[in-house]
Amino acid sequence: NIFQKIINKEIPANIIYEDKLALVFDDISPQAPVHMLVIPKKNISKLSDCEKKDSEILSHLLLVVKIITDKLGISDYRVVINNGSEAGQTVFHLHLHILAGRNFGWPPG
Ligand code: 5GP
């Protein structure tokens, strides 16, 4: 999938943060002034495929959201995971959207 190619540096992305378990980069089609994607380096296609053994990765992804938003001085933001095509998932490699820089409505569309 396309995100595996970004992890492997086979296609370019504006990488914001990288560590052993995770990668953060700007979304190519931003839906807000700030729109980044946080992904595990492990190939997990969606949240519902996760197992108990993935708990370290899953908690790490949320911690990365906190680290990155702190670093960028972003206090108000929305984190979204689309799970499955009916929920809007188009890339089948688990990712958290971080959206910020504008007001967001609720419920989401
Ligand atoms: P989903 O719809 O699966 O929740 O989110 C996939 C996201 O990946 C979309 O917001 C889309 O704009 C983004 N995206 C798709 N292809 C690429 C790409 O090649 N590079 C980057 N940086 N983002 C991508």
pLDDT tens readout for residues 14-38: 999 999 999 999 999 999 999 999 9
Q: What is the pLDDT of residue 22?
A: 98
Does any ligand 1 atom lie closer than 6 A to the CB of residue 91? Answer: yes
**Does residue 95 have an active-site annotation?**
yes
CA distance 95 to 97: 6
Cβ of 82 closer than 6 Å to ligand 1, yes or no, is: yes
Q: E strand or H helix at 15, and its extent? A: strand 15-18
Q: How far apart are CA 16 and CA 81, in angstroms?
A: 19
Q: Which residue has the tokens 């990488």?
A: 15
Question: Which segments of the chain have a pLDDT < 70?
Answer: none
Phi, psi of 2 (to 5 degrees): -60, -35
The candidate with the shortest Cα–Cα distance to 21, out of 54, 47, 46, is 54
Looking at residue 95, its amino acid is H
Q: Which residues pair with 56 in a beta bridge?
A: none
What is the structure's pLDDT at 86? 97
pLDDT of residue 30: 98
Q: What pLDDT was estimated at residue 109? A: 81
Reported pTM: 0.98
